[in-house]
Amino acid sequence: MDVARTIFSNKGYHATSIDDIIEAAGIARGTFYLYFESKRAIFDELLDELFARLASVVRRIEVGPTAAPPEEQLHGIVERVMETLQQNRELARILLREAVGIDSDFDRKLSDFWGRLRGLIESAIRNGQAMGLVRPCDPSVVAHCILGAVKEVVFWVFIEHRASPSVRDQKQAPPDLTLLGKEMIAFTLTGLFTR
């Protein structure tokens, strides 16, 4: 799986052949099929890995007398997600770049994953609105905005940067993780305008 992860990450699902994997893993063709049902199956397993890791790190924001302040919880989640992705760059790369158009089953799985995430964001927004913290807005639309923003930034920082050892983006090195998280949260919470 280590080998497959790396190769899928570098070449994408379609461009990766079983041959690539078994050769890099130093095993025989048959051995591969002893442990994985198909090319699809190992890809599935790989992404499930990341799903599980992310799920263990993203928690619903608690409200209540004993809970930490929501903004602090938010910070925590963002930081932990960023760290998880950082530590699983290859999987993240796969998730964000290639995991679409493989299969309608797979597409559904993916869409479910993002849907669950979006649901969390949405309910946080609704809670915030109920508490008067969040301005009136369409929670569904805004949840999409937030998820999209995070995906794009993560893809940029963890994934695209790796791929371009060229001069292009050299001058503007990616900000460090904590800073990045702060910037994103600030944008999400207060937008662009000066107050």
Could you say which of its own copies, DNA, none residue 158 binds, taking C-beta under 5 to 8 angstroms by partner kind? none
Alpha carbons 110 and 102: distance in angstroms, whole number: 11
Could you say which of DNA, its own copies, none residue 3 binds, taking C-beta under 5 to 8 angstroms by partner kind? none
Determine the Cα angle at 194 with ends 120 and 138, to 5°.
30
- Is residue 9 at the binding interface for DNA, with CB under 7 A as the rule? no
* Residue (of 129, 112, 125) closest to 47 by Cα position: 112
- Is residue 33 at the binding interface for DNA, with CB under 7 A as the rule? yes
- Is residue 68 at the binding interface for its own copies, with CB under 8 A as the rule? no
Q: Which residue has tokens 């107050």?
A: 195
- Is residue 30 at the binding interface for its own copies, with CB under 8 A as the rule? no
SS3 assignment, position 62:
coil
The least distance separating its own copies from the CB of residue 88, rounded to whole angstroms, comes to 19
Q: Which residue has tokens 């794009």?
A: 152
- Is residue 106 at the binding interface for DNA, with CB under 7 A as the rule? no
- Is residue 192 at the binding interface for its own copies, with CB under 8 A as the rule? yes
Q: How many residues bind DNA (CB under 7 A)?
A: 15
**The two structure tokens encoding residue 84:** 């998880």
